[in-house]
Structures are given as C-alpha cells and as structure tokens.
Amino acid sequence: MAIATVTSKGQITIPATVREELGLHAGSRVSFVRTDDGVYELRPQSRSVAVLKGVIAPRDEPVSLEEMAAAVRDGAAATVIEP
C-alpha cells in the first residue's frame, strides 16, 4: 500500500509507484472523484494525444476522398436514430 502525508499547505507527493502505474508525470492533472460510499478516488484527468502515436499502423496507400466519402455514407446509413 502506498501512503502519502499531507503538508501544512495541503500538498501531497504521490508515491513513485503510483505515478508510474497511472502514467503521471510533472504537469499531469488528476481529479478526486467521490464515490457513492464517500471514498475518494484519484484519477488521471486526461492524457496527451501524443500517447496515441504509433497505436495504429499507417496504411501502405493513402485513402482517397472517394473512399472517405463512401465510409461516411456507409456509416450514416448503418446508424438508426429512433425518436
């Protein structure tokens, strides 16, 4: 279990193991979320788009405008909106 101490200024240092597991670094933002049972959870606020770099392999050939338009058209046709 990781433990931190609150300073007189209300600050804490998040233990290194917790920072590593949450992917936190200097400048990271976190939120404190109160659960229904009154316990607070520490959650990373957001991550940089840069962490997505390389997640999807690039295509060998670029996609044409016609292919993009067809994909949008097909996706719209597949979406059913009921009142």
Measure the CA–CA gap between 40 and 19, rounded to whole angstroms.
17
For 1-83, strand residue ranges (E) read 30-34, 40-44
Which residues, in sequence order, are bridge partners of residue 30?
44
pLDDT tens column, 16-55:
999 999 989 898 889 999 999 999 999 988 767 777 888 8
The model's confidence at residue 82, banded by pLDDT at 50, 70 and 90, is low
pLDDT(13) > 90: yes
Longest dimension (CA), the chain: 62
pLDDT number for residue 79: 73
SS3 4: coil
Mean pLDDT value across the chain: 88
Tokens of 81: 């909106």
The model's confidence at residue 83, banded by pLDDT at 50, 70 and 90, is low
- What is this structure's pTM? 0.50
Q: Cβ-count burial of 19 within 10 angstroms (0-12 exposed, 13-18 middle, 19+ buried)?
A: middle
